[in-house]
């Protein structure tokens, strides 16, 4: 479970992470997004089309407790994480497309996440699972998290150098957040994790891996350049784990919070490992294709 101090620290870190995301944006970014509907559509389809379906599929297939199923669903409905921008850069992907997809999914998430959760929890209900997700708390959390994004954008507008520092700090804190979970939540819940079914770990790992696969297949279907394919694969598989953890921490309590937190926490840990391996593979693969002229998606 997450204590009062951890909740306060979690809220502070999420604030700074979202502040850093906002500092990476300008009004021009949104204008360009609207002028490039293909990039916008790709982001929304991959992150709010594939991932929620993957989360639902795993929730229905895997023999795990109801709280784990809810965790899979919440994690699958999250927007893209800023960590994907870092891995896109190192994999020599299309960084502009990566940032655009992350931003679009975060902004549109205020509306799409509650709608998707309502839709998919109804499916779980029809399958006989007594799902009760407090959507009001989730919507409030999402709206509140838009405030630091707006502040970050304002900081960048006032002073580009300050904006760069805030952006760098937010990105670095995103990585630190994973370490925080590792040294804080995991030891406190070690006994719970040891008693947790192996299928919980499988679900947390497969959520990201299947996201990579579907994202890459989607880009292959669109016949995109390898740079864009790498980007879409990473953006699809890497979801905003810190946001999911915050939503669970501020929405649930007690044993239900502990169990539901398992998927976002384990996902956040394993996605760094799988993303690193995938990035190393991307850097070595398709060497010949990299010499081609990129398409005009971005």
**Angle ∠(105,293,289) on CA atoms, nearest 5:** 90
Which pLDDT does position 210 carry in this prediction? 96
Which pLDDT does position 73 carry in this prediction? 93
Which pLDDT does position 36 carry in this prediction? 66
If you average pLDDT over every residue of the chain, what do you get? Answer: 80
Alpha carbon distance 80, 243 (integer Å): 10
Average pLDDT over residues 146-173: 76
CATH (residue range 4-282): 1.20.1530.20
Comparing 17 with 212, which gets the higher pLDDT? 212
Which pLDDT does position 111 carry in this prediction? 84
DSSP 3-state helix, strand, coil percentages of the chain (rounded to 5)? Answer: 80, 0, 15
| Per-residue pLDDT at 174 exceeds 60 | yes
212-258: pLDDT as tens digits: 999 999 988 888 888 888 889 999 999 988 788 878 887 877 778 77
274-284: pLDDT as tens digits: 999 999 898 88
Which pLDDT does position 53 carry in this prediction? 95
186-203: pLDDT as tens digits: 777 778 778 888 999 999
Which pLDDT does position 192 carry in this prediction? 75
Least confident residue range of 105-119, 138-152, 247-261:
138-152
CB 233 within 8 A of CB 216: yes
Contacts of 97 (CB under 8 A, 6+ apart): 39, 42, 228, 231, 232, 235, 297, 298
Which pLDDT does position 185 carry in this prediction? 67
Coil, strand or helix: which one is 207? helix
Which pLDDT does position 277 carry in this prediction? 92
| Per-residue pLDDT at 296 exceeds 60 | no
Average pLDDT over residues 72-83: 87
């Amino acid at each position: 479970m997450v204590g009062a101090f951890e909740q306060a620290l979690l809220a502070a870190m999420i604030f700074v992470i979202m502040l850093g995301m906002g500092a990476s944006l300008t009004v021009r970014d949104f204008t360009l997004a609207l002028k490039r509907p293909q990039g916008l559509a790709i982001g929304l389809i991959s992150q709010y089309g594939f991932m929620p379906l993957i989360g639902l599929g795993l929730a229905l297939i895997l023999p795990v407790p109801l709280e784990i199923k809810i965790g899979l669903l919440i994690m699958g409905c999250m927007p893209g994480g800023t960590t994907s921008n870092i891995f896109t850069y190192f994999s020599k992907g299309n960084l502009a497309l990566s940032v655009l997809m992350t931003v679009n999914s975060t902004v549109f998430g205020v509306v799409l996440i509650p709608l998707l959760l309502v839709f998919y929890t109804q499916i779980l209900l029809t399958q006989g699972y007594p799902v009760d997700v407090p959507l009001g708390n989730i919507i409030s959390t999402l709206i509140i998290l838009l405030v630091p994004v707006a502040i970050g954008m304002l900081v960048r507008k006032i002073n580009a150098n300050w904006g760069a520092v805030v952006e760098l700090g937010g990105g670095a804190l995103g990585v630190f957040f994973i370490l925080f979970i590792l040294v804080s939540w995991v030891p406190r819940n070690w006994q719970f994790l040891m008693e947790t079914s192996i299928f919980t770990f499988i679900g947390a790992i497969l959520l990201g891996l299947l996201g990579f696969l579907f994202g890459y297949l989607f880009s292959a279907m669109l016949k995109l350049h390898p740079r864009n394919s790498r980007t879409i694969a990473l953006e699809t598989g890497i979801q905003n784990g810190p946001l999911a953890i915050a939503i669970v921490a501020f929405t649930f309590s007690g044993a239900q919070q502990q169990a539901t937190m398992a998927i976002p926490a384990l996902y956040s840990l394993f996605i760094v490992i799988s993303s690193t391996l995938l990035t190393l593979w991307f850097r070595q693969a398709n060497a010949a294709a990299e010499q081609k002229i990129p398409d005009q998606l971005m």
